[in-house]
Amino acid sequence: MGRAALFIDRDGTINRDCPYCRDPSQLYIYEDAVELIREYNKKGYLVVIVTNQSGIGRGYFSESELKAFNDALLNELRLRGARVDALYYCPHTPDDRCGCRKPNTALVERAVKELDIDLSRSVVAGDREDIDGELARRLGIPFIHLNRKVEP
Ligand SMILES: [Mg+2]
């Protein structure tokens, strides 16, 4: 039997969203996301980032720029005691009609297969009800909403 996992979104959930984030100097990490990751590390879950990065498909940044940003993010999380076990991204644009752009489920399904995850004990966390919440519904697992919209 596989391990339980926390599937967590990147932009707007772990780091403050900037349009097509690519510059590591723009990195700002939310403390509640750090705490959530630490909590699931302690519970023995795998922590897997699943993120839509259509900036690749649109030609706004390269795979190596994406990797540099991700490395900076993962390193900063590590320094703050939060361990991420894997990161999966979708490089496509909506026009590509792929199966991996969230809320489609193929990214998660790939992680489940490659990392031997027990989906039935897993959860999704994210800032977007219509993307990450919808992903969780399609997978039939719970959703943790990190709501970044400040009430007026
Ligand atoms: Mg997001």
How many angstroms is it from 115 CA to the middle of ligand 1?
A: 23
- Does residue 25 belong to any structural domain of this protein? yes
Domain count of the fold of the chain: 1
How far from each other are the two terminal CA atoms of the chain, in whole angstroms?
Answer: 46
How many angstroms is it from 8 CA to the middle of ligand 1?
A: 9
The CATH number assigned to the domain holding 87 equals: 3.40.50.1000
**Which positions are annotated as active-site residues?**
9, 11
Containing 149, the helix (H) or strand (E) segment is none
- Does residue 151 belong to any structural domain of this protein? no
Q: Is the pLDDT of residue 93 over 70?
A: yes
Average pLDDT of the chain, as a whole number:
95
Residue bearing the bigger pLDDT, 97 or 22: 97
- Does residue 150 belong to any structural domain of this protein? no
> If pLDDT is split at 50, 70 and 90, which confidence band does 151 have?
low
d(CA 85, CA 49): 8
> If pLDDT is split at 50, 70 and 90, which confidence band does 25 have?
confident
How many angstroms is it from 117 CA to the middle of ligand 1?
A: 23
Domain span at 81: 5-145
> If pLDDT is split at 50, 70 and 90, which confidence band does 18 have?
confident
- Does residue 81 belong to any structural domain of this protein? yes
Residue pLDDT, tens place only, 105-122: 999 999 999 999 999 999
How many angstroms is it from 53 CA to the middle of ligand 1?
A: 10
d(CA 9, CA 87): 10
Q: Which residues in the chain belong to E strands, given as ranges?
A: 5-8, 46-52, 86-90, 123-126, 143-145
How many angstroms is it from 44 CA to the middle of ligand 1?
A: 24
pTM listed for this prediction: 0.96
Residue pLDDT, tens place only, 55-71: 999 999 999 999 999 99
Residues at Cβ < 5 Å from ligand 1 ion: 9, 11-12, 127
> If pLDDT is split at 50, 70 and 90, which confidence band does 150 have?
confident
